[in-house]
Amino acid sequence: MSQIAERYEQVRRRVRDAADCAGRDPADITIVAVAKTVGPPEVRAAIAAGVTDFGENRVQEFVAKHGLFPEARWHFIGTLQSNKAQHVVGHAALIHSVDSLGLLERIDRIAGTRGVVQPVLLQVNISHESSKHGVDRAEVEEMVAASMELPNVRVDGLMTIAPFQHPESVRWVFRDMRDLFESIAAMRFNGVELTDLSMGMTNDFEVAIEEGATIVRIGRAIFGR
């Protein structure tokens, strides 16, 4: 068994334990292996270990790795500039980082020319960090409502990045995101069904799962430093 396979199995076990602690079904949680610092051999080893979902945060790397490994589900998780969206739309299983109405509309236009519906998540800066991208929580309802008029984009949920601190110190971030997610979902916008809450990384994914994450983005714990 490769080191990557061993680490991935450890992550899966930790996900199961966190889900059990919260009374949740581990099958409801998707592990996205963040491949932003690794090359094709490591991705190949991860696929052999059973990883099905990968995340990239740079457009050039996303395009290259998606082309090499089209059998995997590739998520775009980094900041996406409008002028580079054409390289991602229609190829990403899920774009996690839609942080403006303008970008949402741009994705809709590109998807329309390609005859696809692009699934996305709205990135929320729930912790109000100046270094983080994302919309304010007060803007989320407006963006979800606006998406109802965009036939080629589908808002599947929300995403956030917590401050890099002790996991218990950022539990409130994940709890606030879950509350926001549930309140928006309860509004039942016509044609919009929020199903995914992407939050939690190597440093804090267990706490994120306990607070409701359905997608966790794991890099170091799978691929090493």
Domain ranges of the chain: 3-223
Predicted confidence at residue 134, as pLDDT, reads: 84
* pLDDT at residue 216, as a whole number: 98
Q: Tell me which residues of the chain have a pLDDT lower than 50.
A: none
pLDDT at site 130: 62
Q: Residue 194 has what pLDDT?
A: 93
At the top level of CATH, which class does the domain 3-223 belong to? alpha beta
What pLDDT does 177 receive? Answer: 95
Per DSSP, the residues of the chain read --HHHHHHHHHHHHHHHHHHHTT--GGG-EEEEE-TT--HHHHHHHHHTT--EEEESSHHHHHHHHHH-TTSEEEE-S---GGGGGGTTTT-SEEEEE-SHHHHHHHHHHHHHHT--EEEEEEB-TT--TTS--B-HHHHHHHHHHHTT-TTEEEEEEE----SS-GGGGHHHHHHHHHHHHHHHHT--TT----EEE---TTTHHHHHHTT-SEEEESHHHH--
